[in-house]
A and B are shown apart, each in its own frame.
Chain A
């Protein structure tokens, strides 16, 4: 059952990523791995599109320099053929003030010859920005709209 094997591959990759073992994570990836997370890059400059192991490693290391104690819960894992989708709950601790950030993340993985060749992530970025900036953006925007 290729689906079962591919789910296991993604689980192992996620465990290695949470542990900060990027050598192990990248061993599960193709040399030309592509990573894309939809997010405002002026707030999350380390996100955006990355191609190849070096760029992807730099992105993860940049994120790890800002956050510690990364862990995840897998809520749903679905696989069909060489594609795996994961509905994840992510937990992080901001290094500068120890505040906890938690958010849901949809991750779509494409595998080639047993290795991950493409990672596509979608998350509730508005909530994530609010947590990172530690402000109620909704209230500010509603007030701004009311003033206009």
Chain B
């Protein structure tokens, strides 16, 4: 039974972020990859949308410059023939101050010929920003509440 592409990608991504070894990851990215990690790009420039392998590798290098993954706990996993969806609890520390940050990520991946062709990651970003700031966000008193 052939290993699902998700597992190779997961190992390569982890190694790229923590050990700064990008070759294995580069080999698993489709040349025309469509990649997006939703979040405030003014505060976290490594988030956002990227098109193409080089742009994605550059983004992963920026992630590696900013965080170190301490623990990944896969809470939900669904594998399709050429796609995968996971919900992962990720414990990280910032490279700058070693501040611990925990985030739950939803990931949707599509593969083409064994390579990652599309990635979408959603995060509870309000919580992520508060953890990064180290305090609750003081919301302005204007606009209308939900």
Contact = CB atoms under 8 A, between A and B. Distances in A.
A135 B143 contact: yes
User: What is the interface residue range for chain A against chain B?
Assistant: 35 or more
B144 A125 contact: no
A126 interface: yes
Contacts of B83: 76, 78
Contact of B108 (A43, A106, A124): A106
Contacts of B124: 38-39, 122-123, 125
User: What is the interface residue range for chain B against chain A?
Assistant: 35 or more
Interface in B98-146: 104-106, 108, 110, 120, 122-129, 133, 137, 139-140, 142-146
B140 A135 contact: yes
Interface string A107-148: 010000000000010111111110011110111111001000
Interface stretch (B17-25, B36-44, B58-66): B36-44
Given A106-B122, A123-B124, A142 B140 contact: no
Interface of A: 38-40, 43-46, 66, 75-76, 78-80, 83-85, 87, 94, 96-97, 104-106, 108, 120, 122-129, 132-135, 137-142, 145
Interface of B: 38-40, 42-43, 76-80, 83-85, 87, 104-106, 108, 110, 120, 122-129, 133, 137, 139-140, 142-146
